[in-house]
Amino acid sequence: MLFATFIAYFVLFIVIFAFPGMKNRQKSNLRFKFFLIPALLGLGMVFLTAIKMFFVYKFLMLVFVLVTMLLSYWQWGDQIRHWWR
């Protein structure tokens, strides 16, 4: 999943940087910069996507656990209070 996200962002950034880069084909390090900058930006976007994805999953897991605990307490509150005494 993350590799496909990287490829999508890499291709997107290459397309974005290709239009102004078509004018300067005389420079020798143009090809290196042409692939390096989109690759670095793609890696940055993948990193941010992974953080966002894991943050959302952790948040949803926390909400699920809290709702389950609340419903359990409503259903079995007397037994839970008796067990803690």
Q: The tokens of 65 are what?
A: 């656990």
**What's the pLDDT at 68?**
92
**What's the pLDDT at 52?**
82
Whole-number Å distance between alpha carbons of 39 and 45: 10
**What's the pLDDT at 28?**
56
Q: Where in the chain are the domains?
A: 2-19+29-80
Q: Is the pTM of this model over 0.85?
A: no
DSSP 28: T
Q: The tokens of 76 are what?
A: 């079995």
**What's the pLDDT at 64?**
92
pLDDT per residue rounded down to tens, the chain (85 residues): 778 888 998 898 888 777 655 555 555 566 777 788 888 888 888 888 888 888 888 888 889 999 998 998 888 888 877 876 7
> Angle at Cα 68 formed by Cα 63 and Cα 70, nearest 5°?
95
Q: How many CB atoms lie within 10 A of CB 45?
A: 17
